[in-house]
Amino acid sequence: MSTPQAAALAGDFARPKPLIKCQVKVTTTTGARFCYAALFASTCDAAIDALERFGISKISVEPAR
């Protein structure tokens, strides 16, 4: 049997969350600068994407307007 809380929680996972358009700015350790916009589930996901693409660097993420 499922509880009402479990059913509500399962409902949250069943609905897709809207993606957020993020503006990502990166400055690498060599001083190269990159800027790109993309859709992400969260701004944290955008920062992780930049880290995976560019490695250790200065990363700034803001929701695009």
> Which residues lie below 8 Å from residue 34, measured CB to CB, with a gap of 6+?
25, 26, 28, 54
CA angle at residue 61 from 65 to 50, to 5 degrees?
A: 130
Does a structural domain hold residue 3? no
**What is d(CA 38, CA 15) in angstroms, rounded to the nearest whole number?**
21
Split into its structural domains, the chain has a count of 1
Residues 5-57: pLDDT tens digits? 665 666 656 778 899 999 999 999 999 999 999 999 999 999 999 999 999 99
Does a structural domain hold residue 2? no
pLDDT, position 8: 60
Does a structural domain hold residue 5? no
Structural domain of 40: 17-63
Does a structural domain hold residue 52? yes
Does a structural domain hold residue 10? no
Does a structural domain hold residue 26? yes
pTM of the shown model = 0.73
Does a structural domain hold residue 35? yes
